[in-house]
Amino acid sequence: MRTSPRCGARTRDGSPCRAPAAHGKTRCRMHGGALGSGAPRGNQNARTHGLFTRDAISERQQLQALLDDAQTLLRKLTQPKQDAF
């Protein structure tokens, strides 16, 4: 146990972790060396809500353009009319 390589992570107080590293890894089981730990390949969990799909981005851009046009029209309608003499 004493001769096994140690985990390379740091604890909250800045001292090195004293746990042994997992077999064939540089971290212990608590710092990411356990089998199956970490994000899945391709990180499929990152974008489950669809906020960054092409359709969603396009829809937001179209909505923003529509709102800009409406705001421009409101500005034109609320400007005081100038009398032509």
Parse the chain into domains and list their residue ranges.
1-37, 49-78
The owner of tokens 């969990």 is: 45
At residue 68 the predicted structure's pLDDT band, cuts being 50, 70 and 90, is very high
What is the pTM (predicted TM-score) of this model? 0.41
Instruction: Tell me which residue of 52, 19, 43 sits closest to 33, measured CA to CA.
Output: 19
Per-residue pLDDT reduced to its tens digit, 17-34 = 999 988 888 888 888 877
The owner of tokens 């970490």 is: 38
